Amino acid sequence: MRHSEFHRSHHIGWLRAAVLGANDGIVSTASLIIGVAAGNANHHTILLTGIAGLIAGAMSMAAGEYVSVSTQSDTENADLAKERLELATDQENELKELTGIYVGRGLTPDLALQVAEQLTVHDALGAHARDELGITEIVTARPVQAAFASAASFAVGAALPLIIALLASGKLLIPSVGATSLICLAVLGGVAAKVGGANQWTGAARMTFWGALAMAATAAIGSLFGASLV
């Protein structure tokens, strides 16, 4: 019976996309809202800006992630095609190459050769993909999954400051959106760090710092230039 274990690296693909999307959603939308509000825009304009930021940001995240991960997927497929051709035309040198990899990892030459021969018989392409190219099921590029995770998490993150902006108005809007967004960023950073096995306080502090910096920058620009309404 195969022994099953839990490893955090199994979640690295969707976790990276989800955390990046949610972080961008909170930071960019909260910063947009705060910047426009600091420029003395009316409540309707502030909400419209937040909604536009949510939609545009979610689509941009999905498109960017899809293109990026698709490029990685194309590269992996090209490498696999090349490896498949080499296995079909030069099996002897490919076996030597695989043997050398295992020797480099600490096996004796004889044992490395035996392992290479058995893995070649079992699944030659899989062995070279894993041990030579570093392509495994865990890290294989999945463009659609990454795009959906980024867009969905961005929308969820962006909705948080947008809801606060809907409920708050006047002088309470900026501090309410800012404080709530920073709290959400701290929680997100802590949870992401916990799932990834890192220090939760460090993760929370990292997210909060950059979020506060972005909001402060847009607030300053909004106050300096004001809102230009037609």
Identify the residue with better confidence: 140 or 17: 17
| Predicted confidence (pLDDT) per residue in 76-85, tens digit | 778 778 878 8
| Predicted confidence (pLDDT) per residue in 189-218, tens digit | 888 788 777 888 988 899 899 999 999 999
pLDDT at 14: 57
pLDDT at 3: 44
CA dihedral 101, 106, 110, 114 (to 10 degrees): -60
| Residue 186 pLDDT exceeds 80 | yes
Our CA angle for 25, 30, 31, nearest 5°, is 105
pLDDT at 29: 95
| Residue 15 pLDDT exceeds 80 | no
| Predicted confidence (pLDDT) per residue in 49-97, tens digit | 999 999 999 999 889 888 887 887 778 778 778 878 877 787 777 788 7
* Residue 136: Cβ within 10 Å count: 12
| Residue 12 pLDDT exceeds 80 | no
Q: How far apart are alpha carbons 118 and 32 in whole angstroms? A: 59
Identify the residue with better confidence: 69 or 33: 33
Q: How far apart are alpha carbons 157 and 191 in whole angstroms? A: 14
